[in-house]
Amino acid sequence: MPNDCITYQNSGYFSKLIVDYLDQKAELKTLYNRFPTVENFGLQIEEKSENFPIENREILAKALLNQYQNFEVSETTSNNIELLKNSNTFTITTGHQLNLFTGPLYFIYKIISVINLTKELKTAYPENNFVPVYWMATEDHDFDEINYFNFKGNKIQWKKESKGPVGRLNTSGLEEVFEQFSSELGLGNNANYLRELFKKSYLEHENLADATRYLANELFKNEGLVILDGDDLELKKLFIPYAKEELLHQTSFKKVNETLPLLKEYNVQVNPREINLFYIQDNLRERIILENGNYKINNTQLSFSESEILTELENNPKNFSPNVILRPLYQEVILPNLCYIGGGGELAYWLELKSNFEENNITFPILLLRNSALVATKKQVEKLEKLGLNWSDIFQNQQTLVNEKTKEFSDFIIDFSEQKAFLKNQFEALYTIANKTDKSFIGAVKAQEVKQLKGLENLEKKLLKAEKRIHTEKLERIIQLQNELFPNQSLQERKSNFADFYNEITNFEAFFSLLYSDLQPLKQNFSLVIV
Question: Same structural domain for residues 454 and 350?
Answer: no
pLDDT tens digits, 164-209: 999 999 999 999 999 999 999 989 999 999 999 999 999 999 999 9
Pairwise CA distance, residues 519 & 366, whole Å: 19
Q: What percent of the chain has pLDDT over 70?
A: 91
Whether residue 453 is found in the same domain as residue 327: no
Q: Which of 318, 315, 312 is nearest to 296 (CA)?
A: 312
User: Does 384 reside within a domain?
Assistant: yes
- Whether residues 112 and 254 fall in one domain: yes
Q: What is the predicted pLDDT for the residue at 118?
A: 98
Pairing assessment for the beta strands 277-281 and 226-229 based on DSSP bridges: unpaired
294 domain residue, yes or no: no
Three-class DSSP category at 304 = strand
Instruction: Evaluate whether residue 131 is within a structural domain.
Output: yes
Q: Which of 154, 192, 194, 159 is CA-nearest to residue 173?
A: 159
- Other C-beta atoms closer than 10 Å to the C-beta of 450 total 11
Q: For residue 3, what pLDDT is reported? A: 47
Q: Which domain holds residue 475?
A: 379-498
pTM above 0.85, yes or no: yes
Count CA within 13 A, CB hemisphere, residue 83.
Answer: 20
Please tell me whether residues 520 and 395 are part of one structural domain. no
Cα 138 vs. chain centroid, distance in angstroms?
17
Instruction: Measure the CA–CA gap between 506 and 498, rounded to whole angstroms.
Output: 14
Yes or no: say if 278 and 323 are a contact pair by the CB < 8 Å rule: yes
Alpha-carbon distance of 224 to 221, in angstroms, equals 5
How far is the C-alpha of 401 from the C-alpha of 497, rounded, in Å? 26
**Residue 396, in any domain of the structure:** yes
Q: Which residue numbers in the chain have pLDDT < 50?
A: 1-3
CA–CA gap between residue 331 and residue 60 (Å, rounded)? 11
Three-state SS at 294: strand
Q: CA 314 to CA 366: how far, in whole Å?
A: 31
Q: Which residues of 512-521 are buried (b: 16+ CB within 10 A; e: fewer)?
A: bebbeebbeb
Do 80 and 68 belong together in one domain?
Answer: yes
Residue 49 lies in a domain: yes
User: What is the number of domains present in the chain?
Assistant: 2
110 shares its domain with 130: yes
Element (H, E) at 180: helix 174-185
Residues 101 and 148: their CA atoms lie apart, in Å, by: 8
Residue 515 sits in the same domain as residue 491: no
Predicted pLDDT at 496: 97
Instruction: Determine contact, residues 491/104, Cβ cutoff 8 Å.
Output: no
102 located within any domain: yes
pLDDT at 4: 58
Residue 221's SS3 state is: helix
Residues 233 and 360 in one domain: yes
- Whether residues 438 and 449 share a domain: the answer is yes
Contacts of 523 (CB under 8 A, 6+ apart): none
**CA pair distance 137, 135, nearest whole angstrom:** 6
| Amino acid found at 232 | D
**Residue 36: closest CA among 261, 269, 350, 255:** 350
Specify if 412 maps to a domain. yes
In a domain, 314, yes or no: no
Q: How far apart are CA 175 and CA 436, in angstroms?
A: 85
What single-letter DSSP state applies at residue 207?
B
Helices (H), 231-286: 233-249, 251-259
- In terms of domains, do 408 and 494 share one? yes
The conformation of residue 370, written as its DSSP 8-state character, comes to: P
Contact indicator for 406, 414 with CB cutoff of 8 Å? yes
**Same-domain check for residues 38 and 62:** yes
Q: Clarify whether residues 492 and 506 are in a common domain.
A: no
* pLDDT value of residue 444: 72
H-state helical runs in 68-152: 75-83, 106-124
End-to-end Cα distance, the chain: 13
